[in-house]
């Protein structure tokens, strides 16, 4: 059972992102267009689950299925689309996760959504702090229930996604 744990921002998260991104560039090679640091660990000053989320933008998503053994070689477990059509999702660390890799084909609307959320939160520190507080409250309330923690954030995340979309005129 995974415990829900949110912790204060850690400056090392940027270094952890950069080190993992280097490994992923090697695995994905010419198929890779960009690698982005997303999620709460990409937003300084807010609490986050200490899991680095990386969004990898690729030319052809189908080609990623041929790289599963390479991802396993560097410690990842393939989870398929994992609830988001068109995504390839990988986790590292099992129940003590350290990294999530979200792979999308160029042009997928999920890329813009994830980047808009991150950039909106960076530009709106009061909103980021509200999100941080919500996460802390939910983590305390649902310490042993990751699903309830995730569901508890859902309404707020949808509101921020809409604000971010309007903010960027998407």
4 lies in a domain? no
CATH at residue 128: 3.30.460.10
- Confidence at residue 2, expressed as pLDDT on a 0 to 100 scale: 77
130 lies in a domain? yes
DSSP 66: G
Domain that holds residue 130: 12-167
- State the 10-residue block means of pLDDT for the chain, 170 residues long: 91 98 98 98 97 98 97 98 97 94 98 97 97 98 95 97 92
Instruction: Check if the beta carbon of residue 17 is closer than 8 Å to that of residue 37.
Output: yes
6 lies in a domain? no
35 lies in a domain? yes
5 lies in a domain? no
- Confidence at residue 3, expressed as pLDDT on a 0 to 100 scale: 87
- Confidence at residue 169, expressed as pLDDT on a 0 to 100 scale: 87
What lies within 8 Å, CB to CB, of 17 at 6+ separation is: 37, 41, 42, 52, 54
- Cα gap 108→21, rounded to integer Å: 20
2 lies in a domain? no
Structural domain total, the chain: 1
3 lies in a domain? no
- Confidence at residue 1, expressed as pLDDT on a 0 to 100 scale: 66
pTM of the model: 0.95
């Amino acid at each position: 059972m995974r415990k829900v744990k949110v912790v204060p921002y850690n400056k090392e998260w940027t270094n952890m992102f950069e080190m993992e991104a280097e490994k992923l560039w090697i695995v994905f090679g010419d198929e890779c267009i960009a690698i982005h640091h997303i999620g709460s660990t990409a937003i300084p000053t807010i609490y986050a689950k200490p899991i680095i989320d990386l969004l990898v933008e690729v030319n052809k998503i189908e080609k990623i299925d041929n790289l599963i053994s390479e991802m396993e070689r560097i410690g990842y477990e393939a989870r398929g689309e994992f609830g988001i059509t068109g995504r390839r999702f990988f986790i590292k660390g099992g129940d003590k996760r350290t990294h999530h890799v979200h792979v999308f084909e160029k042009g997928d609307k999920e890329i813009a959504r994830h980047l808009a959320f991150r950039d909106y939160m960076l530009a709106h520190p009061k909103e980021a702090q509200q999100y941080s507080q919500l996460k802390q409250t939910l983590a305390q309330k649902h310490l042993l229930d990751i699903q309830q923690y995730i569901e508890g954030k859902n309404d707020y995340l949808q509101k921020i996604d809409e604000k971010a979309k309007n903010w960027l005129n998407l």
